[in-house]
């Protein structure tokens, strides 16, 4: 059985936003939502059942009842309620998400996967349904889970959770590069959450394992296991990202004798300069392009301190205090909507390590 610690937050926000967009005949629904938020499930359900009587064709009330039953661990009751509204024209992908999760909580993983697949037939670009399906395979078939998460990234590239799950798997393998890129894209799509803080530390440790200083004068990288047969490789094609990435980092590491928090910040800036010298035009990378944009706007240095702040809170706080104006300039730029990382169907990253 999976643990959907991210699921409930999404559902709460989703239903509130959905309700706000509609004019509901039963305004008591908002009182019910507050009761459910306070874990007063029975009281909330009573109000929602009253709303059902007032407006029996409205999808919101039975869905909210099912949600409250899910919170209270009445999974059978939630499933029964959801099945009654299965033919509603108002169904969205979160319906299949909630229904599949309840089957999973009951231990019926086969029915859960079947539900997610049914939802994907109706909502083929639903990142959250790919996420739920992928989690079902993560413990037993991690490669299959990665393929599902990456399909979710491809079809719904602004949905952050598939990046999060894929990054955590990759960072445990010898292909840390994919994990580092997915993890940082995730941090730019989902900011200031507990998962973001977790990923900050995971990325720092990922770089620590990948940037190896064997002595004060020698270093190596272990980002990923890229091997090329020079005899058969098409020289007209760009080299794999792994090779270009590792090469640029090796050059950047030459100025530093060891790995530490402040050195990593500078190494990343030097890496970007070296990577740009390669003039890779045929294989753009959405994250590295974003680095370039930040560098052009003179906020990349502060961004690096921000991204890795959890790894060394004291060092970050000290730098932030000494560089208050620079950090505030970064915050102003980074929180401007037009400057946020945009990932779409023409501009997204999928690892080339799994075929």
Q: Domain extents for the chain?
A: 7-156, 202-339
Asked if residue 166 lies in contact with residue 318, where contact means CB atoms within 8 angstroms, the answer is: no
Can you give the pLDDT at residue 147? 96
- Helices and strands per DSSP (H, E), number in the chain: 18, 2
Classify residue 339 by its DSSP letter. Answer: G
Q: Would you state the pLDDT for residue 5?
A: 39
Judging by beta carbons within 10 Å of its beta carbon (0-12, 13-18, 19+), is residue 249 exposed, middle or buried?
buried
Cα 112 to Cα 1, 97, 172, 264, 291, distances in angstroms: 10, 9, 27, 43, 39
Q: What is the pTM of this model?
A: 0.90
pLDDT of residue 12: 45
Q: What pLDDT sits at residue 1? A: 58
* Spans in the chain with pLDDT lower than 50: 4-14, 17, 19, 228-233, 355
What is the rounded (10 degree) CA torsion for 248, 249, 253, 254?
Answer: -30
Exposed / middle / buried, residue 111 (Cβ in 10 Å: 0-12, 13-18, 19+)? middle
- Contact predicate 167/188, CB 8 Å: no
Give the pLDDT confidence score for residue 97 in this predicted structure.
97
Which pLDDT does position 146 carry in this prediction? 96
Q: Looking at domain 7-156, what is its CATH homologous superfamily? A: Tetratricopeptide repeat domain (1.25.40.10)
- Distances in Å between the Cα of 99 and the Cα atoms of 67, 87, 92, 145 are 10, 14, 12, 20
**Could you read off the pLDDT of 126-154 as tens digits, one per residue?**
999 999 999 999 999 999 999 999 999 99
pLDDT tens figures, 200-215: 999 999 999 999 998 8
Say how many C-beta atoms besides its own lie within 10 A of residue 61's C-beta.
28
């Amino acid at each position: 059985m999976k643990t959907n610690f991210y699921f409930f937050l999404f559902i709460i926000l989703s239903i509130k936003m959905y309700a706000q967009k509609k004019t509901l005949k039963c305004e008591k629904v908002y009182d019910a939502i507050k009761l459910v938020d306070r874990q007063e499930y029975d009281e909330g359900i009573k109000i929602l059942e009253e709303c059902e009587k007032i407006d029996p064709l409205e999808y919101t009330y039975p869905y909210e009842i099912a949600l409250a039953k899910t919170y209270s661990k009445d999974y059978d009751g939630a499933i029964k309620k959801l099945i009654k509204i299965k033919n509603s024209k108002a169904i969205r992908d979160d319906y299949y998400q909630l229904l599949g999760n309840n089957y999973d909580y009951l231990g019926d993983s086969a029915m859960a996967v079947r539900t997610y697949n049914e939802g994907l037939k109706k909502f083929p670009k639903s990142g959250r349904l790919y996420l739920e399906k992928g989690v079902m395979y993560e413990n037993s078939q991690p490669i299959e889970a990665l393929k599902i998460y990456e399909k979710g990234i491809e079809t719904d590239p602004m949905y952050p959770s598939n990046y999060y799950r894929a990054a955590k798997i990759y960072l445990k393998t010898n292909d840390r590069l994919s994990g580092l890129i997915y993890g940082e894209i995730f941090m730019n799509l989902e900011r200031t959450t507990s998962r973001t803080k977790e990923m900050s530390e995971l990325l720092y440790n990922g770089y620590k394992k990948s940037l190896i200083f064997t002595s004060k004068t020698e270093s190596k990288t272990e980002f990923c296991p890229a091997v090329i047969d020079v005899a058969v490789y098409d020289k007209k094609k760009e080299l794999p990202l792994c090779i270009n990435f590792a090469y640029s980092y090796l050059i950047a590491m030459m100025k530093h004798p060891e790995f530490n928090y402040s050195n990593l910040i500078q190494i990343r800036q030097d890496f970007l300069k070296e990577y740009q010298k390669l003039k890779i035009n045929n294989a753009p990378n959405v994250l590295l392009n974003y680095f370039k944009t930040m560098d052009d706007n003179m906020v990349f240095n502060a961004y690096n301190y921000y991204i890795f702040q959890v790894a060394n809170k004291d060092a970050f706080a000290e730098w932030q205090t000494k560089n208050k104006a620079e950090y505030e300039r970064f915050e102003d730029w980074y929180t401007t909507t037009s400057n946020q990382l945009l990932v779409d169907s023409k501009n997204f990253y999928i690892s080339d390590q799994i075929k």
